[in-house]
């Protein structure tokens, strides 16, 4: 294999271009991107937040970034379907590694996430985050809003995450309500897709319920999302439990009746018109996974997010 290299995550001499590591070997960064803390010349930084102390059911999402990175190796060195291109031909993407958090001082967690996210965003890089439980989106939103102003939230999820809290709770089920009350998101242009539970309030956010996702085409759903956000800057968050447990068993709070991975990916593929300013994939908990199907879904969703960005360039 004279054209092959190994450990591209460490040996890459530039930030663009595909890697050539054997799929089954080599250092497991996200899609073999170079591991670096330097943000010079970077278009996109992929960052892991290994945190799951906010879960209301099964823990384990702290291992999500590892699992997603491992699953992403399957994308190595191919033009990425359905984009038909090397996503890194003109887009400089790095793996920024993980956020360092103190497991004994969770009260420090949101501030640490927000500060590190702000460093990346203010350097001019698009931030794609791998969670971690869905609480991490709260400090991420704060950092993005500080840079871009209030954002429309496009949330793929089985849960509304609008439960009441006191503004201080570390809870993956209340961050959307808090963001709405504090004006971080424009609720009139925000939308949730795949909802299959009830919460006390909807905060004025448009919802497409799970049964509606089943009944509608991917194009119809994408058209509603694009129309409802109305050209506003968007934060895109994908909770893997949006998918039916048949396609994503490895998550903390699975809910039956969700879309297939194929349906969700088809919707994402049609969201190129959105002005996406930041994105995350959260709640992958590999301890409950089987044959990496959830991790593969999470990695593919993250790859689609990169694909949408690559097409903008």
Q: Which residues are annotated as a binding site for Mn(2+)?
A: 134, 157, 159, 161, 239, 241
User: What is residue 299's DSSP assignment?
Assistant: H
Contact yes or no for 103/170 (Cβ under 8 A): no
State the binding site: 134, 157, 159, 161, 239, 241
Alpha carbon 110 to its chain centroid, in Å, reads 17
């Amino acid at each position: 294999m004279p054209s092959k290299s190994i450990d591209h995550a460490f040996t890459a001499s530039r930030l663009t271009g595909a890697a050539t590591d054997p799929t089954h070997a080599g250092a497991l960064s996200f899609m073999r991107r170079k591991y670096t803390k330097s943000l010079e010349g970077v278009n996109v930084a992929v960052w892991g937040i290994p945190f799951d102390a906010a879960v209301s059911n099964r823990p384990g999402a702290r291992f999500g970034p590892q699992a997603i990175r491992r699953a992403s190796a399957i994308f190595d060195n191919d033009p990425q379907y359905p984009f038909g291109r090397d996503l890194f031909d003109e887009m400089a993407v790095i793996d920024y590694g993980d956020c360092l958090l103190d497991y004994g001082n969770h009260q420090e967690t949101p501030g640490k996430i927000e500060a590190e996210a702000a460093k990346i965003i203010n350097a001019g890089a698009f931030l794609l985050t791998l969670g971690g439980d869905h609480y991490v989106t709260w400090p991420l939103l704060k950092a993005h809003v500080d840079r871009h102003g209030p954002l429309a939230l496009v949330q793929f999820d089985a849960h509304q995450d609008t439960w009441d809290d006191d503004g201080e709770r570390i809870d993956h089920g209340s961050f959307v309500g808090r963001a709405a009350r504090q004006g971080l998101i424009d609720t009139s242009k925000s939308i949730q897709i795949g909802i299959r539970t009830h919460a006390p309030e909807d905060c004025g956010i448009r919802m497409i319920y799970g049964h509606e996702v089943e009944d509608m085409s991917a194009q119809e759903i994408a058209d509603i999302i694009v129309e409802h956000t109305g050209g506003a800057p968007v934060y895109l968050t994908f909770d893997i439990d949006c998918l039916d447990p048949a396609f994503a068993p490895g998550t903390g709070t699975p809910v039956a009746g969700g879309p297939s991975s194929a349906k969700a990916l088809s919707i994402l593929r049609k969201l190129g018109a959105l002005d996406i300013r930041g994105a995350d994939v959260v709640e992958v908990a590999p301890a409950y996974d089987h044959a990496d199907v959830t991790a593969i879904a999470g990695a593919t969703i993250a790859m689609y997010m990169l694909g949408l960005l690559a097409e903008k360039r």
